[in-house]
Amino acid sequence: MRLAELSTRSGVSRATIKYYLREGLLHPGRRVTTTEAEYDEEHLRRLRLVRALIQVGRIPVKSAREVLAALADEDLDRSQRLGTAVWALPHGPAPDERDPATEAARRTADELLERIGWSAYAETRGRANGGADGGADGGADGGAPLPPAYAMLVTAITALSRLGYPCAADDLEPYARAMERIAASDLDLVERYGTPDEQVEAAVALTVLYEPVLLSLRRLAEAEESHRRFDSR
């Protein structure tokens, strides 16, 4: 297909496609004349992923480039490629190491994750040499960095604790168990795609696109439960 058809099928303007090509987010098409190139279904799939990352997920171009580089790294297996790509996505603020509540929050996070037995986290934690003071940037002894999502969890628990809201491992465990079921549903969707490359790309896109779905469904569910419990009518 030519650029015009690629634009029509993807819903991305030709000017934006040319920008993505210049930035290396989309690999060049097969040159057919000095001024025109031909694109295929792989370009269309990659363009939809780039659109999900940048236009929908509001991810900076630099971060999107890092995600795409991770997806293309054939030295990694599917799990590693997905983990590396998700790691490159934007995350919330790192824990404030000057806050005395941060260390207690980290202990709560560790207790929670060890209790539910998430082995991928445990392996990463081990590579970080148990670096409690390293946060998302690495262990205290300069070990491997911890997942940004772990740093987000510590920051969130710190805020809850500071404001006096329930945030012990017992309070958080039901949420973690619910996330296990959601993660299984996520990967069930991913496995509908045919090739490993398509699966990893879909996993990244769905990570970005389904987070607003999860937030909206949670708010709707809370409204429904509140109606059931408290509505005297």
Among candidate residues 68, 185, 170, the one with its CA nearest the CA of residue 116: 170
Amino acid at 195: T
Would you state the pLDDT for residue 145?
Answer: 66
pLDDT lower than 70: segments of the chain: 121-145, 232-233
Ranges of beta strands (E only) in the chain are: 30-31, 37-38
pLDDT tens sequence across 116-169: 998 776 555 555 444 444 444 444 444 556 788 899 999 999 999 999 999 999
Helix, strand, coil % (nearest 5) of the chain? 65, 0, 30
Per-residue pLDDT, 207 = 84
Architecture of the domain spanning 3-77: Orthogonal Bundle (1.10)
Cα 44 from Cα 89, distance rounded (Å): 22
Distances (CA, A) of 232 to 34, 43, 127: 73, 56, 54
What is the structure's pLDDT at 110? 93
CATH 1.10.1660.10 domain locations along the chain: 3-77
So what's the pLDDT on residue 129? 44
The pLDDT of residue 105? 95
